[in-house]
Amino acid sequence: MIFRITQQLHNKTHQCIITKYLLCVSYFRIIRLCLSLWARSPKAYDTLKDSGFLILPSTRLLQMYKNSIPQTSGFQDAQFRWLHLEAQRLNVPSHGRRGGIIFDEMSIQEDLQMNRENDVHTSVGFVSISNESDYMQKLIHEKKEIKLADHALQMIFLGDTGFKFPIAHFSTINAATAPELYTVFWRAVSHLYCWDFIVDYACFDGAANNRSFLEMHFDGKSAKERQYRAKDPYDGNHEVVFIMDSKHSVKKIRNNLLKSKSTAGKGGKLLLHNGHPILWDHFVKAYEWDLQVNSMRIHHRLTQEHIYPDQAAKMRNKLAAEVLNDDMLHLMQAYSKVVPTDLRGTIALLEQTSKFISIIHDLRPIKDRGDERLATLRSVWDWFEKWVTNTNDQKHLFSHQTRDDLSSSILGFISYVDNKLLRFPSTYVVPARLNSDLVENFFSSQRAMCNGANANPTYLQYCKAVNTIIINQGAQSKKCNVQSCSKAGYSALPYKMHVKQPFRAKRPRLL
């Protein structure tokens, strides 16, 4: 009798535990769904909640879940802990914890705002990147200057298996300098080491400060001779590869072509390859011929925006890639058969850029150091080097900044793949992942969520939107700088669901 009673109590207790677990899982799923709806459109969520059709959590509760980690300028231990817990939840393997840091900057509005957190008021909007930078500025100017930030520097960790997570952001002025980037980058590497994440590469665009940051690691020696590998100060046996964003390199090639004219005047140049001209006019005429003559267009994606880009269109990587890809090569080859114009130089360039673009958009993993795509990339770089060697006048070449960026994009990528597959033969590298698309999509979400796709947020708005983007994909512009905008979401669990900590109690109201 006693045994039966004990057994029934045990079964009842077990059933209660299972019921509580299922209720807990269902509760978290409902919170995640509501967070997603609320982040996309707070007004639509309020309308659905007030309708009474569904009983939904209050917006205050959702705000508490979203703001479990207050976002501020600099590194936060809680942010790295969130990164670690998300990697555990998604069962990221050990080789997925190796990857790179992608960073870039976006313009923000200069504005000083007050933020209240736990009944403490703080001012947000001043420049804040590192203590070393503050001390150096004080030594240079012999006084402490407080300035409003006009840029936000964002850092994102990208693992080799595709796991991604924003790790820190900073408020800067006129873009961060090379010494500031140096300090912040290696501090980020140190923080990631503490949470069992290893940085094998850094990816960034070809801004002047970024190029200076790259050169700081090679003590005046040629980065190309060192294969863009620099010693890790935290591990003497480890090297970090510095890679310029390949899609920005393509955009720079297109921008150089826009300036190439047969009558090169002020601000223009005449690109020549083995004496054959490479002119933007060739692209214009080929587009007009395809539009007028062919009922089934050869390059059906080409539009006026590609051929006559304004300042906003010049910033879009997608448009630059579609002007220099395989379809453009086929169009130029067909056009060359019906006109007497010398198009040999332009076709020769398109043969190389089309190979480069097809590889950097390739989603197939590279698993072998003998992969033919690596050999293709080497042949592309050899073609550009031979062009430079055989040309005496620099006015007939791309700018040296473009050549340096292309060198880092190609040789840096080859160096990274070769080193990784040599040390870890069972791993792989996906070429389409090694670019700045993640951070560009992050900025697109920031603009769309705060003030619309054509405006820049204040730094307080930027901070408030970070957790929303991490938890939910968020709203994005269809005209963002890069492709695959819809795949920029992180869909992470809120930090509060990982760490069991009570919410801040309500303040008692004064009578």
Output the tens digit of pLDDT for each of the chain's 511 residues.
444 445 544 554 544 444 444 445 577 788 888 888 887 788 888 888 888 888 888 888 888 888 888 888 889 999 999 999 999 988 999 889 999 999 999 999 888 888 877 777 788 888 888 777 766 676 766 677 778 888 999 999 999 988 999 999 999 988 888 889 999 999 999 999 999 999 999 999 988 899 999 999 988 788 888 999 999 999 888 999 999 999 999 999 999 999 988 775 555 688 999 989 999 999 999 999 999 988 889 999 999 999 999 988 888 899 999 999 999 999 999 999 999 889 999 999 999 999 999 999 999 999 999 999 999 999 999 999 999 999 888 888 999 999 999 999 999 999 999 999 998 888 899 999 999 989 998 998 888 776 555 578 888 889 888 988 888 754 444 445 555 444 445 567 777 666 665 555 444 444 4
- Are 60 and 91 members of one domain? no
Question: For residue 415, is it within any domain?
Answer: no
Q: What is the dihedral of CA 110, 116, 118, 122, to 10 degrees?
A: 50
> Contact at 8 Å (CB) between 242 and 315?
no
- Are 97 and 45 members of one domain? no
Give the residue from 229, 256, 232 showing the smallest Cα distance to 242: 229
Containing domain of residue 11, as a range?
Answer: 2-66
Handedness of CA 229, 231, 235, 237 (dihedral sign): positive
CA distances from 35 to 31, 155, 418 (A): 6, 24, 43
> Residue for token digits 């920031």?
446
Helix axes 372-389, 344-360, angle to 10 degrees: 140
- Are 329 and 254 members of one domain? yes
> Residue for token digits 């080929």?
286
Q: What angle do CA 300, 435, 418 make, to 5 degrees?
A: 115
- Are 267 and 389 members of one domain? yes
> Residue for token digits 């204040």?
458
409, 444, 459 — which closes off a domain?
409
- The answer to whether the predicted template modeling score (pTM) of the entire model surpasses 0.75 is yes
- Are 97 and 153 members of one domain? yes
Q: How many domains are there within the chain?
A: 3
409, 424, 459 — which closes off a domain?
409
- Are 362 and 267 members of one domain? yes
Question: For residue 510, is it within any domain?
Answer: no
> Contact at 8 Å (CB) between 324 and 357?
yes
> Contact at 8 Å (CB) between 475 and 448?
yes
Question: For residue 123, is it within any domain?
Answer: yes
> Contact at 8 Å (CB) between 341 and 317?
no
- Are 277 and 361 members of one domain? yes
Decide: helix, strand or coil at residue 103.
strand
